Amino acid sequence: MKQTVEIYRGGVKAMAIWDDVIPQEELKRFAAGGMGTSLVGFGEKAVLLIVDMSYGFVDSSFPLGDSSVGWTTVHHIQKLQAVAREKKVPILYSTSEWKNNSVERGLWKRTPEVTQALKNPKAYRIVTELAPREDEPVVTKMAPSAFHGTDLLRMLIQYNADTLILTGMVTSGCVYATGVDAFSFGFRVIIPAEGVADRSQIGHKVALFNFHMKYGDVLPMAEVLRYMSSK
């Protein structure tokens, strides 16, 4: 019988997304350490952050994109975006941009062919289905975390936020790095499981597992939508 992980409110347990990749012995060790056995929970003021939902990650026409998971995730995030706008929950976005020199681009492990493809400005354009409004800020980053070298922290403070609802791509990369930084700055971090995606399903599941064990809550999208609808 598989070990279950408590991911819902009220003590109701269900099979977690990572239960088919994390060995039983490891699940037991985490449980023995009290990890993942309780929820951080929502605070008083939430902000929705949509990380890197650009064509370069969402669409397989780009070498770093994956349409098989990207577009499904777009549709899930659209639901959150619509409720956030209705309930006046602030929405922030992140993306990147092309830099003509390698120092500004950073030490990403990319082939010359991938680097060439990333010169296309469309790679950094947030998909039309999630296009930000004029009053919804977009931070431009060159590192995995949306906090690194941007004004994201200042804006969250200005919103008086204590909770970050974190969505986007990719789970094991920029989403994870952003989530850890948000935790480190003292924010409650909530990840709706259907609102993030990765080109690697194993990487996706392991990243969500590790985050839920240590830093924040990985919850079903329905749970997050109920919270936002109640605001």
pLDDT of residue 14: 53
- Alpha-carbon distance 168 to 152, whole Å? 16
- Alpha-carbon distance 196 to 187, whole Å? 19
Q: Which of 105, 180, 96 is nearest to 139 (CA)?
A: 96
Tell me: pLDDT of 2 over 70.
no
Q: What is the DSSP letter of 4?
A: P
Cβ 129 vs Cβ 92: under 8 Å? no
- Alpha-carbon distance 228 to 80, whole Å? 8
How large is the average pLDDT for residues 147-172?
98
Tell me: pLDDT of 5 over 90.
no
pLDDT of residue 84: 98
73 compared with 108, residue with greater pLDDT: 73
Which segments of 26-110 are extended strands (E)? 46-51, 91-95
* Radius of gyration from C-alpha coordinates of the chain: 17
| Average pLDDT of the residues of the chain | 91
List, for residues 195-226, the tens digit of each pLDDT value: 999 999 999 999 999 999 999 999 999 999 99
The hierarchical CATH code for the domain 39-229 is 3.40.50.850
How large is the average pLDDT for residues 91-106?
86
How large is the average pLDDT for residues 131-158?
97
Model confidence at 123, pLDDT cuts 50, 70, 90, reads: very high
pLDDT of residue 11: 38
Tell me: pLDDT of 149 over 90.
yes
Bridge-based pairing state of the strands 91-95 and 138-140:
parallel
Tell me: pLDDT of 8 over 80.
no
pLDDT of residue 16: 87
pLDDT of residue 110: 86
- Alpha-carbon distance 165 to 34, whole Å? 23
Cβ 204 vs Cβ 174: under 8 Å? no
How large is the average pLDDT for residues 111-134?
92
Map out the domains of the chain as residue ranges.
39-229
DSSP per position, 141-195: -SSSSTTTTSSHHHHHHHTT--EEEEEEE-IIIIIHHHHHHHHHTT-EEEEEGGG
